[in-house]
């Protein structure tokens, strides 16, 4: 499909060629789109921030603050229609099979699963209506926790784990694991659950330069019907803003948009993986035990939604 310059009428075989041509008119790319294709924030009517063409035409709001203000400002039915269409458009544009989980939605210009639950009553039901399969369920009561069923077992810690969590109140053993950093000694009791602990720095490295190797690891786990949970010891909102943390971002040539794009891709592509962001290392210990001792309920639940709802 040809791209036509609105300034002079010349046609180009690609947007890249058109964008290069704009220099002849002394126009920056964003100036060109602001002039001929102005798009405005639904809440405050300011021009949509231009980062690239695709994002520009896909964006309806400049930030989540404006999104939330718009949600509070409009009639409930207007919001319901908009966000149902958001799911439909995302399904078609990204060719999604599964309903986006809490981790996915919180990284997009969208309300979280929590909001959908409040407005629609049942997030899974609205997703099924638009043709998205339910991968994980939302829960309204705390995840099951039955540590007494696991007495006599151990939590294995992988030999390669460089900064192992200090689990003082349950037996542990250092042992080589095929994947992940932590597992329970009786895998049948946890439905073959493996937990991979990551700091935010680890996550950035894995989802950028180590991406292909990470996908290979997920596929190895999938062939053995293993459930892999990436447990990130960093608050979700802070993780979305890692580029503003100098101690984290130093010497890193990527950004949150790229990292969370890869996270969303992995979640949709592989049925056996979840990501869960918790506030710190100590919280990682608590949550890991809750997952291992949940009588396998973890495998059916949107864990980030459960955590955000204080049910995990």
So where are the chain's domains?
A: 3-38, 74-129, 147-308
CATH 3.40.630.30 fits 147-308, yes or no: no
3-state secondary structure 17-83: HHHHHHHHHCCCHHHHHHHHCCCECCCCCCECCCCCHHHHHHCCCCCHHHHHHHHHHCCHHHHHHHH
Query: For residue 252, what pLDDT is reported?
Result: 67
Q: What is the pLDDT of residue 251?
A: 61
pLDDT of the residue at 291: 98
Q: Which residues in the chain land under pLDDT 50?
A: none
pLDDT at 266: 97
Q: 12: helix, coil or strand?
A: strand
Q: What is the pTM of this model?
A: 0.90
Q: Catalogue the long-range contacts made by 53-57 (C-beta closer than 8 Å, 24 or more residues apart).
A: 53/15, 53/29
CA torsion 9-11-12-18 (nearest 10°) is 10
Q: What is the pLDDT of residue 246?
A: 59
pLDDT in the model for residue 253: 75
42 Cβ contact partners less than 8 Å away, ≥ 6 residues apart: 60, 61, 66, 70
pLDDT at 245: 65
Taking only the tens place, the pLDDT of each residue in 109-129 is 999 999 999 888 899 999 999
**What does the block give as tokens for 157?**
């810690």
Provide, rounded to the nearest whole percent, the portion of the chain with pLDDT above 70: 97
pLDDT, position 119? 87
């Amino acid at each position: 499909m040809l791209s036509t310059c609105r300034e002079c009428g010349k046609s180009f075989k690609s947007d890249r060629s058109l964008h290069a041509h704009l220099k002849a008119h002394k126009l920056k790319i964003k100036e060109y789109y602001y002039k001929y294709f102005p798009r405005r924030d639904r809440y405050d009517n300011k021009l949509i921030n231009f980062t690239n063409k695709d994002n520009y035409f896909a964006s309806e709001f400049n930030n989540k603050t404006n999104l939330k203000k718009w949600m509070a400002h409009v009639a409930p039915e207007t919001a319901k229609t908009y966000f149902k269409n958001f799911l439909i458009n995302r399904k078609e544009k990204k060719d999604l099979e599964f309903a986006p989980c809490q981790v996915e939605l919180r990284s997009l210009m969208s309300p979280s699963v929590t909001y959908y639950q409040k407005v629609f009553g049942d997030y899974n039901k609205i997703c099924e209506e638009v043709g998205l399969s339910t991968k994980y369920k939302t829960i309204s009561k705390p995840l099951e926790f039955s540590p007494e069923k696991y007495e006599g077992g151990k939590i294995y810690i992988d030999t390669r784990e460089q900064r192992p969590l200090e689990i003082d109140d349950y037996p542990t053993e250092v042992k080589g694991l095929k994947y992940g950093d932590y597992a329970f000694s009786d895998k049948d009791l946890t439905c073959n659950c493996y937990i991979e602990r990551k700091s935010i720095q680890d996550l950035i490295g894995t989802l950028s330069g180590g991406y292909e190797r990470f996908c290979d690891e997920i596929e190895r786990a999938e062939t053995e019907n293993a459930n892999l949970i990436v447990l990130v010891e960093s608050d979700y909102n802070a993780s979305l803003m890692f580029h503003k943390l100098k101690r984290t971002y130093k010497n890193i040539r990527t950004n949150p948009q790229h990292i969370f794009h890869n996270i969303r891709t992995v979640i949709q592509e592989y049925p056996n993986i979840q990501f869960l962001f918790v506030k710190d290392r100590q919280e990682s210990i608590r949550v890991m035990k809750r997952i291992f001792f949940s009588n396998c309920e973890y495998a059916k639940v949107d864990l980030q939604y459960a955590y955000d709802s204080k049910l995990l």
